[in-house]
Each structure stands twice: as structure tokens, then as C-alpha cells.
A and B are shown apart, each in its own frame.
Chain A
Amino acid sequence: MIGLQILNGLVYGSLLMIVASGLVLIYGLRRVVNFAHGSLFMLGAYIAYAAAQQFGFWVGLVAAVSVLAAVGFCLDRFGFRLLQDRDPLTVMLVTFGLLLVFEDVVQSVWGKQSYSLAAPESLAGTVELFGSPFPVYRLVIVAAGLAVAAALVGWLRHSRVGLFIRGASTDPVTTAMQGVNTDRLSGGVVAVGAALAGLAGVVSGPFLSLSPTMGSDILIDSFVVVVIGGLGSFAGAFVAAMILGQVQALGAVYLPDLAALLPFALMTAVLVWRPSGLSGSRT
């Protein structure tokens, strides 16, 4: 029983990690807390749903990720880039405005009812784990989370672009002076961040259900992850996502009345203890 709960926590933690790593990427380059990130997640899920109706899950996945990457690029090119000298609060509220726009778009196209995206047939079965059947698809989510984490670490640590990104998120001005085109870099990075949100949305489709509120639900949880981990820190976000996944899954079983409270209690405790989060390097 507890083994299964830990596994479920791992599944949700992996999802949160994918979403939160997008938030961290965008925050790193543009110092923007992106309130529209949850809507990007939701948009990804709905686009995949629409495409999957016609062409199946995998086409839906590719379509959603590519559309979201394009949305992310435009968001940077026509949004964050033009607003980079403005007060962070201003940009934050612009993303809040975008959240409203995206939610309105989703509600007008798909209505308020909830949908479910079917898992691809090859992944639809169950396996016997800890003496009870467990959907294979949930294990795939964990694998996807691990793959994203590994890919990000490889990209950021071992490639030239990764070096530039790490440079630009530590000190954009100095990095630009060394000859790195930080505006172009940011365009790409925000595109990747948005694509990751879309990916998480698609992957979560068969696990959670699609509804116009799915965006704000995951947004709050991923904010909690990013803030607990320390804004701008990947390692912190990974650890925090896993902790939060476990807290959610175990809390739902052992403290059902307070489960919804636990993430916030955890965040408050961590911030009071270490005001800049677990990794504690940046604010």
C-alpha cells in the first residue's frame, strides 16, 4: 500500500519537475515569474487532445510541443524582450493578463466540461507491483521526468549553449559583453520552457483530467516547488518536486483532511527557515 503511494508521489513529482524546470529556465534568463506557465501546460494538453482525436496520441504530443515552443518564442520576442527594462512586478502582471487570455481561449474553444486524453495503446496496460495492478502509463510519466531531467542536465552542463545559458542566468550583462547574443538565447530558452510546460500537459492528459482549471492547479504547485527549491535553481527544483510529490501522495492517504494544506505549510516552513529556498543561492 505505502509502496504504491510512494510510486504515485513519484509520478506527480515527475510531472511537477517538468513544469517547474520550464519555470526555472524562464526565470533564469528573463527574471520573470511566469504566471501564464500553468496556462501553457493546459494549452499543451488541449492541443494534444484535439490532435489525438484525429491522428492519435503521438502526433498530438509532437503537435502540442511544437505549438507551445512557437508560443514560447513569440512570448519572449514580443513580450519579455520588449519589457526587459521594466519593473519585475509589471512583467509578472503581464503574464497574469496572458493567463486570463489563454483561459478564455480554452474555455471558448473547448467549453467548461472536462475531457480525458487516452493513453497510447502500447502503454495502456497494467503491471503487477507490490501485489496490486499499477498502470504502465504512470511508470512512463516517471521515465519521461527522468529523461527530461537527464536531457536538461546534459544540455546545460555539457554543451556550449548550456554554458551560455548558465552564464546569462548568473549575469546577463557580462555574458552579453563576452559576445553572446542573450536576446536570441532567451528566445530559445523561453521556447524550451514553454515546450516543457506543453510536454507536461500532454503527458499528464491520461493521468489527470483536462479542465479549464488544470492550469491554475498545477501553477500553484509548481510555484511552491520553485520557491522551495530556490528561485532559479534546477537542483533545488528537482528535489522540491520530488518532496512535494511525496507529500501530496502520502498526505492524501494519511492526512486526507489536511492534504491540500501540506504544500503551503511546507513552503512556509522552508522559507521561514531559509528565506531563499533550499538551494539558497539567489533571490
Chain B
Amino acid sequence: MSATLTAPALDGAQVKRASRLPRLLSLTSVAVAVGLAVSMLVESNTVMSLLTQAVIYAVFALGLGFLLKQNGMVSFGHALFFGLSGYLVGVGASLTGSVGTVVVLTIAGIGFFAFALALVIVRVPGIAFGMLTLAIGQSFYVLVSKSRGVTGGADGMSIEFPPRVFGLEIGAFQDPASMFLISWLALVALVLALSLLLGTRFGPLTEAIRENEERVRFIGFRTLLPRAVVFAISAMVTAVGGALSALYTGFVSPESLHWSVSGTVLIMVVLGGSRTLWGPAVGAVVYYLFRDYVGEHTTHWMGIFGVSLIAVIVLWPAGIAGGVMHAVERIKRGSGRHA
């Protein structure tokens, strides 16, 4: 009896999962094609370096947005994972020649570090969590600025890379045209990986915890571990951004750990909309294009940005991605009616 009752539900889930994968893969190939097209069509070096920086921060924003989306938690200290990753790559590169290994170890190490940290801090509720992450991030900012011996202190640290990294010439990482493509592919791969992850039971489980942790505990799930895992994944994605940034610029400074960086990226996340995975990444690109455009015309970039930020948040609570999804829904419904 119960078997017949559950059977249709199971079928539904299987059908959904089966139809998900081809759709994801086709979207991924479209995204890859877009990246290739942009890197071929854009000739200006300035535009290319702007886009490269935007895509690197899009990876950062993807990580921070993932935390907000799956955990409902706002971190004001994610610059910690971004900057720390840059420093670890830098220090690692000065010790050994195989930077590829260093990058992989750095990201894994930050994952473990964030997981251990999360086990302690995710218990802190709501706004206090944001302030706690801010405090932890700022502590590292101070530590890094003060430890002149290892990090070069407030002046930052230039990184000497060996001629080949991940089997590519180091020049490929430091030239905007090729680095754009590398960062773009990394971004697309991360979005794909996270979507696949959220397609498993982990996705609905963490969303349920976000909505009501107590009820999920009542049903019999442990909630601390999934939340810590979300935090660790978010930190690792952010660390990928930090590593890309270090490879691209060959330089890390304590400023990359400052809380205002976390705040700026949080703005990108909200601007783009945190209800989808790709929203924050769009927010980052829009942020950079907007800043470049406004910065060219006026010195009051900060004020104008502040006003626009307030306007977008007030008028468009779900961000750019929310607006796009809404439009897509309407088009779908419209065409459905015609057919």
C-alpha cells in the first residue's frame, strides 16, 4: 500500500532530476560560449582587465551568496577567506615551485579552517553572527598588517611565481585576455558544481534548516553539521576567488582582508539577488561596470553608488536575478497561454 503511495512521488523526483542535468549542461555550454565570445570580441585591454577583475569578484560573491542562500546568514568577514587565500598562495609560492599544489592545498586548508570555525560560530544567532564574523575578519586584518616578517605588513606582498603554473605559462594568468577566460571557466565550473550539489538531498535539507532550524531538528536531522558544511563550502569558493586574484595581480595587500571588502561584496550579492546561485555573480559584474562608468564622469562615485544601492534595495528586493526570473516566468506563462 505504502509502496504504491510513494511510487509516483519517487517517479516525479527521478523525472525532475533526469530533466535537470541536460538543462544544466546546456546552460553551462551556453555560459562557456558566452565567455569565449567575450574574450574574442572585446579588444580593448582596459575593458578586459575590468571584466577580469569583475569575474574574480564574481567568484567571491558566489561564495558569499551561497552562504546567504543556503544558510540565511550574513557574513561581514568573508574578506578573511579571500585575503588569507591570497597570502597562503603567496607564501606557498615563495617556498615551493609547484604553485598548483599550493593553490589546491590552500583551498582545502581554508575549507577545513572554515569548517572548524563554523562549528563554533554558527550557533551565534542572527545579527550577532554578522558582527562576530566582522570581528574575526578584522582580527586577521590586524594580524596580517602587523606581521611584517611574513606578509610585508601594511605594504602588502609581491608574489614571485615560477614560470609555469597548472601547466600554463604564468603570463597566461597575468594577461587580462586569457585570465578572463580562466576566471570565467572557474566561475562557470563552480556554479555548475554548486547546482549539482543543491540537486542532491543537501540542497532541500539546508534550505529547510534556513527556514526553520528547530522543525528540522524535530524531524530528526542534525542541523549543526550541514550549516557548518555550507559555511565551509562558501569559504572555499571565496578562497578560489582569492587565489585567482593573487595569480592575476601577483600581489596581495592587507586591504583585501578589510571588512569594507566584505561589505562591498555583500552589496554585490544583494544587488544581484541571493535567491539564485548566479545572482551574486551578476551583481559583481554590474557593480564593476557601474563603478567604472560613474567613476569616469564624476568624483562623487561613492554618494551616487549609495543612492543607487538604496534605490535598488527598496524598489527591487529580490535583486537583478529576482527581476530576471520574474520576467522569465511571465514570458513562459504568456507563451503557454498562446499554445
Contacts and interface: CB of A to CB of B under 8 A. Distances in A.
Interface of A: 33, 83, 86-90, 92-94, 96-101, 103-105, 107-108, 216, 220, 223-224, 227, 231, 257-258, 260-261, 263-265, 267-268, 271-272, 275-277, 283
Contact of A268 (B136, B267, B300): B136
Nearest to B128: A227
Given A93-B313, A94-B313, A268-B139, A275 B270 contact: no
Of the candidates B139, B143, B263, the one having the most CB atoms from chain A within 10 angstroms of its own CB is B139
Interface of B: 74, 120-121, 123-128, 130-132, 134-136, 138-139, 142-143, 146, 259-260, 263, 266-267, 270, 299-303, 305-307, 309-310, 313-314, 317
Contacts of B300: 104, 108
User: Which 9 pairs show the lowest CB-CB distances between chains A and B?
Assistant: A104-B303, A100-B306, A101-B306, A97-B309, A264-B135, A264-B139, A97-B310, A104-B302, A97-B306
A108 B263 CA distance: 22
A264 B143 CA distance: 11
B125 A89 contact: no
Contact of B134 (A89, A93, A220, A265): A220
B288 to A, nearest CB: 16
Nearest to A230: B128
B128 A275 contact: yes
A101 B307 contact: yes
A33 B138 contact: no
Given A271-B128, A275-B123, A220 B306 contact: no
10 contacts: A33-B130, A94-B314, A100-B309, A101-B303, A227-B135, A258-B142, A261-B142, A271-B135, A276-B128, A283-B126
Contact of A264 (B142, B146, B263, B270): B142
Given A231-B127, A264-B138, A275-B125, A96 B267 contact: yes
B307 A97 contact: yes
B284 to A, nearest CB: 16
A220 B132 CA distance: 11
Contacts, number: 113
A100 B128 contact: no
A262 to B, nearest CB: 9
A interface, over-half SS: helix
Contact of A96 (B301, B307, B309): B309
Contacts of B260: 216
Contact of B305 (A86, A100, A227): A100
Contacts of B131: 33, 223-224, 227, 267, 271
Contacts of A99: 306
Nearest to A259: B142
A238 to B, nearest CB: 18
Contacts of B128: 227, 231, 271, 275-277, 283
B193 to A, nearest CB: 26
B121 A272 contact: yes
Contacts of A265: 139
A93 B309 contact: yes
Best-surrounded residue of B120, B127, B305 (most CB of chain A within 10 A):
B127
B78 to A, nearest CB: 15
A92 B75 CA distance: 13
A260 B143 CA distance: 9
Contacts of A268: 132, 135-136, 139
B127 A267 contact: no
A165 to B, nearest CB: 20
Given A220-B259, A260-B142, A275-B125, 12 more contacts: A93-B267, A96-B263, A100-B309, A223-B131, A261-B139, A261-B142, A264-B139, A265-B139, A268-B132, A272-B121, A276-B128, A283-B128
A32 to B, nearest CB: 10
A261 B143 contact: yes
Contacts of A283: 125-128
A275 B125 CA distance: 7
A271 B124 contact: yes
Contacts of A92: 74, 127
B223 to A, nearest CB: 15
A227 B134 CA distance: 11
A231 to B, nearest CB: 6
B74 A264 contact: no
Nearest to B72: A89
Contact of B303 (A100, A276, A277): A100
Contacts of A260: 142, 146
Contacts of B302: 100-101, 103-104, 107
A95 B322 CA distance: 22
A89 B142 CA distance: 27
B132 A33 contact: no
Nearest to B270: A93
B83 to A, nearest CB: 15
Contacts of A96: 263, 267, 309
B232 to A, nearest CB: 18
A232 B32 CA distance: 49
Contacts of B138: 220, 264
A4 B130 CA distance: 35
A174 to B, nearest CB: 21
Contacts of B303: 100-101, 104-105, 108
B275 to A, nearest CB: 12
Contacts of B143: 261
